[in-house]
Amino acid sequence: MKKWYSLIDKIYRKESLELAFKRVKRNNGAPGIDGETVWDFADKIELNIEFLHERLKTNGYVPSPARRVEIEKPDGGTRLLGIPTVKDRVVQQAIVNIIEPIFDPTFHPSSYGYRPKHSQHQAVAKAERFMNKYGLEHVVDMDLSKCFDTLDHEIIMEAVSEQISDGRVLDLIKKFLKSGVMHRDNFCQIEVGSPQGGISPILANLFLHYAFDDFMVKEFSLIPWARYADDGVTHCVSIKQVKYLLRRLQERFAMFGLELNLDKTRIVYCKDKDRKGNHEHTSFDFLGYTFRPRQAKDRYGKFSTNFLPAMGEKAKKAIRKEIRGWKLQLKSDKSLNDVANMFNKQIQGWINYYTYFYKSEFYDVLRYINNRLVEWVRRKYKKRKARRRAEHWLGEIAKRDRKRFAHWKLGILPAAG
């Protein structure tokens, strides 16, 4: 395997740092513990780039602790996110820009997380193809307990040093792993794990490449699988094969300090027109989509039952909760155009993601948005306080101007009768 030397000079070049900042600026994001925003950084771009250049060139750069925030998950748990300072994000992005082209070609085709030109939709499509094209009866819906929180730093650095021999780059990556987090004004040193954000995605992907992907290729080459970050599914021909695979995966993950949560890992039977019978689990969630038996037209125009993905109930619940969080009822001072401008980007993002497979399943959520807009009309206009009047007024506008809201373009309009 080729080893890469003398990479640090490519990282600290001013043009490399400027390119990295363009990516950071495009992603925007919240400030770190120093409160500096991307716009603050941009206001003093030359001074900031010069500062980073000199510190990296002289090996004197010291990362700040990440600001830890807790993000609520749809299942009721929390996901820990580390938000680095803008300066740290620029340096980390500069590192990623250099090391990603080195590592990415070595990753498996069924690994889709945190990779250029790889998407969640591709991972879902591959899982569907394996089930319906090859007739595989069982899916193992894997659940890794707190994967990002338990990544072993030594193993990560071992994996990085397999291909990178530049000691200064290795030291810099290690500094970021050991930089710790600030949580509610308390500093926490991190000995294992990597807060989600910054350089962590590519390191986590590299870690799971060795822990899972490489293992599957060498030990279970005939079992197809798809993985996006720590969310993965494997496809088996029988329960016997499933049980053997799970036992081996438990042993493998334990070697890497990871734990396969057997309470949440599900063995699912891919029930369809050919695969019948009673089974405990006949559905599973993968990347916001629920796979289960559904009616669909085949290529001859006939309806039959296939095991297909569509937007899942957990995702619907999470989005409805976010829509309620918009508090439209408190925005009666805004015009309809104002409301559209505030939320259209978010609505379009949901449409882009959840209408990729079996799009009609998402329409209930879009109708829910219309219902909230009707409530907004009732609050804003006294003459339209009655629900029917509010629906009629909004529906008439929607018929005349379908471009006003992203979901109206799809024909999901408020009732105008």
- The token pair at 81 is 């996110």
- The token pair at 107 is 């990753």
d(CA 297, CA 304): 6
pLDDT band at residue 416 using 50, 70 and 90 as cut-offs: low
- The token pair at 172 is 């810099």
pLDDT at site 400: 93
pLDDT at site 196: 60
Q: What is the mean pLDDT of the chain?
A: 90
pLDDT exceeds cutoff 60 at 75: no
Chain segment 28-59, per-residue pLDDT in tens: 889 999 999 999 999 999 999 999 999 999 99
Chain segment 184-217, per-residue pLDDT in tens: 888 888 777 775 667 888 999 999 999 999 999 9
d(CA 263, CA 37): 41
Distances from the Cα of 30 to the Cα of 68, 71, 114, 261, 324, angstroms: 11, 13, 20, 32, 23
Name the phi and psi angles at 13, rounded to 5.
-60, 140
pLDDT at site 243: 93
Determine the average pLDDT of the residues in 387-406. 95
Chain segment 263-289, per-residue pLDDT in tens: 888 899 887 776 677 788 889 999 999
Contacts of residue 9, defined as CB under 8 A and 6 or more positions apart, other chains included, come to none
Contacts of residue 264, defined as CB under 8 A and 6 or more positions apart, other chains included, come to 143
Chain segment 124-142, per-residue pLDDT in tens: 999 999 887 777 789 999 8
pLDDT band at residue 76 using 50, 70 and 90 as cut-offs: low
pLDDT at site 77: 65
d(CA 179, CA 43): 26
Query: Cβ atoms within 10 A of the Cβ of 15, count?
Result: 9
pLDDT band at residue 410 using 50, 70 and 90 as cut-offs: very high
Which residues make beta-bridge pairs with 231?
A: 143, 228
3-state secondary structure string across 361-386: HHHHHHHHHHHHHHHHHHHHCHHHCC
- Positive or negative: CA dihedral 89, 91, 97, 98: negative
How many helices (H) and strands (E) the chain has is answered by 15, 11
Terminal Cα-to-Cα distance of the chain (whole angstroms) = 69
pLDDT at site 282: 87
pLDDT exceeds cutoff 70 at 1: no
